[in-house]
Amino acid sequence: MEANVYRMDRKHRGHCVVVNNHKFTSMSDRPGTDKDAEHLRHVFEWLGFSVHVYDNVTKGHLDKVLQEYKCHPGHSDGDCFVFCVLTHGKFGAVYSSDGTLVPIQEITSHFTAQQCPGLAHKPKLFFIQACQGEEIQPPVFVEADAVNPERVSPSLKDSIPDEADFLLGLATVPGYVSFRHVEKGSWYIQSLCNHLKSLVPRNEDILSILTAVNNDVSQQADRQGTKKQMPQPAFTLRKKLVFPVPQEKL
């Protein structure tokens, strides 16, 4: 194995956690999100992960989930860790199902080398499907994942710990909404899953895959005319992250 590529040959590929918030106590539902959760489960299981989906997660439940995976004994035998959040959001933060605004940094900080030694020197990937800013009126069937947005532009890097081996994939650049089809799922997650399916078998690394997702989602946005959505990754990866090609077809 090349020294500049993350190891992917341990006993387990790792855990993939999906927080899927469809219903909220004080915000609108997010129809279409179950399609995203289902697609993520399908693709990450295909990539060899143990996938755990949690629906309509309150702040208290989120804290428990974070604590559980921070201390998970399985990390020591795993190659990688993935955490996906499907919910409403504002810049740099996501909403729990009971309406608490949780900074993305609060989520990622549980998995630093100090907090979670089992994941030290291993890639930690976070994918966030949520708006990061201002609500606009979308056409029928397409909704914006935004709530009470404010125009602010701190650095996206502030959302990931100041240490190596993190990747944060956001559905949209700061200050903008992200879109979700009420039947087909969100533009970003569907594109991410489709590109993992098509490009992992070609041995593409994760940053090349996310670049292709950027291109795809920005073109979808342009086809909508007035709608704009541009995903954005932030990362401190030190090596290439290439998933082994799964033996079975999806």
pLDDT bucket at 225, cuts 50 / 70 / 90: low
**What number is the average pLDDT over the span 92-106?**
93
**What number is the average pLDDT over the span 189-206?**
96
DSSP 3-state of 66? helix
pLDDT bucket at 178, cuts 50 / 70 / 90: low
**What number is the average pLDDT over the span 169-191?**
71
pTM: 0.87
**What number is the average pLDDT over the span 54-61?**
98
More confidently predicted of 136 and 29: 29
Predicted confidence at residue 155, as pLDDT, reads 56
Predicted confidence at residue 171, as pLDDT, reads 77
**What number is the average pLDDT over the span 114-126?**
97
**What number is the average pLDDT over the span 179-189?**
75
- The 8-class DSSP code of residue 94 comes to E
Q: Does the pLDDT value for residue 152 go beyond 50? A: no
Q: Domains for the chain: give ranges and CATH numbers.
A: 12-235 (3.40.50.1460)
With residue 143 as reference, give the H or E element that holds it.
Answer: strand 142-144
Predicted confidence at residue 1, as pLDDT, reads 54
Q: Does the pLDDT value for residue 231 go beyond 80? A: no
**What number is the average pLDDT over the span 166-195?**
77
Predicted confidence at residue 234, as pLDDT, reads 87
Q: Does the pLDDT value for residue 2 go beyond 50? A: yes
Predicted confidence at residue 73, as pLDDT, reads 96
Nearest 5°: phi and psi at 244? -60, 145
Among 55-69, 145-159, 172-186, whose mean pLDDT is lowest? 145-159
pLDDT bucket at 61, cuts 50 / 70 / 90: very high
Q: Does the pLDDT value for residue 147 go beyond 90? A: no
Among 56-60, 106-110, 152-156, 167-171, whose mean pLDDT is lowest? 152-156
With residue 50 as reference, give the H or E element that holds it.
Answer: strand 50-55
**What number is the average pLDDT over the span 53-65?**
98
Q: Does the pLDDT value for residue 133 go beyond 80? A: no
Catalytic residues: 88, 131
The average confidence (pLDDT) of the chain is 85
